[in-house]
């Protein structure tokens, strides 16, 4: 079997209510590209690991790790040049693969990149904090892609030295700031 052309890396902790939809959305969106899905679980006490394994997903348990460490560990275990970091409650659009291929075809002259989209919450049953946090992110002009849906290549990931393992949150913002210092393009795809 050929190496996967894209690795989806999903950190998880007690995500049994979300992980099925996330994994199925990836499977539904991927038509022609060879891919792998890696769930890096931080010690779930619910059915997250069992569900992921039942769906045929490589699942690794990494206890007492920061979200940065989970993402880095998944990247180290992956086999692809393209890395897609998504959260376990993210759903990909059905045309996601087409959009990624279009982006990658346009990146031929830019070997380093970070892309993806800023995540938002569905309207309706959202908390005041969720609604206002994501609203601020959407209005921000900051060069920043949130790691709920961040795509990069291994060369970029290695050049930046991955996510800072000491960070318990904000690892995506830090990752993008370090990329900016290296003049690595950050391209938001909406």
How far apart, in whole angstroms, are the C-alpha atoms of residue 9 and residue 171? 15
Cα gap 10→38, rounded to integer Å: 6
Whole-Å CA distances, 158 to 71, 74, 81, 178: 13, 13, 11, 12
Q: What pLDDT sits at residue 107? A: 74
* Kind of pairing between the strands at 82-86 and 149-153: antiparallel
pTM over 0.75, yes/no? yes
Tens-digit pLDDT profile for residues 51-67:
999 999 999 999 999 99
Q: What is the pLDDT of residue 91?
A: 85
Considering only residues 126 and 32, tell me which one the structure prediction assigns the higher pLDDT. Answer: 32
Which secondary-structure segment (H or E) carries 97? helix 96-106
Per-residue pLDDT averaged across 75-97, rounded? 92
Residue 12 phi, psi (nearest 5)? -145, 150
Residues above pLDDT 70, as percent of the chain:
82
Q: What is the pLDDT of residue 27?
A: 94
Percent of the chain with pLDDT over 90: 61
Instruction: Please report how the helices 67-77 and 171-181 are oriented relative to each other, as an axis angle in degrees rounded to 10.
Output: 60
Tens digits of residue pLDDT in 99-154:
888 888 877 667 899 988 755 555 556 655 555 545 544 555 556 687 788 999 99
Count of beta carbons in the 10 Å neighbourhood of residue 138: 11
pLDDT for the residue numbered 121: 52
- Which comes out higher in pLDDT, residue 173 or 4? 173
Q: How many residues does the chain have?
A: 190
Neighbours of 23 (CB within 10 A): 21
């Amino acid at each position: 079997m050929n190496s996967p052309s894209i690795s989806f890396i999903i950190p998880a902790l007690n995500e049994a209510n979300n992980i099925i939809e996330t994994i199925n959305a990836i499977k539904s969106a991927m038509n022609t590209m060879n891919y792998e899905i890696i769930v890096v679980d931080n010690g779930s006490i619910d059915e997250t690991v069992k569900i992921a394994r039942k769906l045929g997903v490589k699942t690794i348990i990494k206890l007492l790790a920061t979200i940065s460490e989970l993402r880095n560990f998944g990247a180290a275990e992956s086999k692809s040049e393209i890395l897609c970091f998504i959260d376990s409650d993210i759903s990909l659009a059905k045309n996601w693969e087409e959009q990624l291929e279009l982006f990658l075809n346009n990146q031929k002259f830019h070997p380093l990149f970070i892309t993806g989209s800023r995540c938002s919450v569905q309207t309706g049953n959202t908390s005041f904090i969720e609604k206002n946090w994501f609203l601020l992110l959407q209005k921000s002009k900051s060069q920043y892609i949130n790691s709920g849906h961040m795509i990069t290549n291994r060369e970029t990931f290695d050049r930046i030295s991955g996510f800072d393992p000491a960070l318990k949150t904000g690892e995506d913002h830090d990752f993008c700031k370090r990329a900016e210092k290296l003049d690595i393009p950050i391209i938001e795809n909406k």
